[in-house]
Amino acid sequence: MQVKIVTFLVFASVIALSNSMSLNLETIPLEMPILKPDGEGVFCRYKNFSMEAACNEGGACSIQNVTSPKSFCDTLYLHDHAVELPFMQSEFTSPYVSAGACPVAGTKHLHVPLVAFRNGNRYRDTVCSLTCSPICDRIANHPSYVKGHMFTTMVPICHCLYLSQIPLAKAHSNTASLNSTSIANSTSINNLTNHH
């Protein structure tokens, strides 16, 4: 009986408190940086968690504007696991993506593991938040990377620059045509070797 009375009193207190503090949407500041759409000249925005304390204490705000795909990739490739590797010639996996700005094979080039782009893990880069998050998802979900191992598949910065600029649907169709070309080329090579 005493438990029912205590439960009733707690419930009545919560209702009384909620009635006295009516939530009015006009009192919520809708100009918070997280809620605003990206402005003119902003490629995307991310929340820099390392600056969160400074933002809360009235310092520089932790919401960072990224102005271009290049600045997006340059910032993301400051990741703790970024490493310079010979392009397409390392012990790690890097799928072929026909990105025009990539160096010749063997040239030292900046790479990060796929885990920096993948959603739902603690190693995802802080740049992959807010409106920059879909761009990271676009790279991680690209058909060339979607089945890649999070730690052994490396994403060269030239792939980031290329894939961050194209819509996901177009990225899928580019890979489909690339795969059909690769299949056609391997079939041609097999036909040549079988005839000789």
Q: What is the pLDDT of residues 92-123, one digit of tens each?
A: 989 989 888 899 999 999 999 999 999 888 88
How many helices (H) and strands (E) in the chain? 6, 5
Say what the pLDDT of residue 185 is: 35
| Closest to 67 measured CA to CA, from 78, 57, 55, 75 | 75
Prediction pTM value = 0.64
Q: How many CB atoms lie within 10 A of CB 95?
A: 20
7-20 mean pLDDT? 50
